[in-house]
Amino acid sequence: MTGLNEAFIITKEKRDELVEKDAKSDEIIRPILRGKDIGRNSYTFADLYVITAYKGISLIMKETYPAVFEHLKQFEERLRKRGQCEGTATSPGSNQHHWLELDNNVSREKLDNFLRQKIYYREISDAMNAVFVEDYIFITNKSYMMTGKDVNKNLLSFLNSNIFNRIMLQQANLTGGKGPSFFKNMPLPLVIKSEDRITEDVLNRFYDLSPEEISYIEKASNK
């Protein structure tokens, strides 16, 4: 996401320092979660923050966010060497964006997706480890995000359920195969659109599981 985490992902101490120098710094500094911070139905905040230097912010960075500019200035040489920036003499970059900005041409509109209710889940783990998040919190590239009108707490319950984790998730490559391509053809149960909160029992009835099948899935989930 950033191209140089050392520059853009900062500690709480550094965040507080930048805000103390210039209160406007807070406008572009947001909490961020790593993959290992995300668990089943919860997350652990490690007091890390990301500087959301969207594409085009370089035009106003020095004047509008001087403290952040001076912080990033320390990393200028390394930031310029990113492949999406200028690169080096022997390995020229593509000049897609200014060295002050995040990699991958992140627009302000794309950042607005993080304002919406969403589900985060870990990229690499033996279970889904999904959590519902409504706060303006970002994630690193070791995680995935689901957002949209159909993202709700019943979808979260389904993703964290025994039947999903022990039957459906086994189709994914657990070394990083839980991305969009995995979910593209994944049939979702209509029960997730219910106004009532779904449980393991509701899902078992929906899939018409026998007692033996339920027992098998529960034993596999407890291993």
Residue pair 136/30 in contact (Cβ under 8 Å)? The answer is yes
pLDDT value of position 150: 84
pLDDT value of position 148: 87
The single-letter code of the amino acid at 77 is E
Rounded to a whole number, what is the largest CA-CA distance in the chain? 67
pLDDT value of position 174: 56
pLDDT value of position 175: 52
Residue pair 32/138 in contact (Cβ under 8 Å)? The answer is yes
pLDDT one-digit tens code per residue, 188-205: 888 888 888 899 999 999
72, 218, 48, 21: which is closest to 140 by C-alpha? 48
pLDDT value of position 10: 98
Q: Which burial class, exposed, middle or buried, applies to 217 when counting CB atoms under 10 A from its CB (0-12, 13-18, 19+)?
A: buried
pLDDT value of position 69: 98
Predicted TM-score of the model (pTM): 0.88
pLDDT value of position 223: 58
The residues of the chain scoring below 70 in pLDDT are 173-176, 222-223
pLDDT one-digit tens code per residue, 23-54: 999 999 999 999 999 999 999 999 999 999 99
The structure tokens listed for 21 are 């120098």
pLDDT value of position 77: 95
pLDDT value of position 172: 75
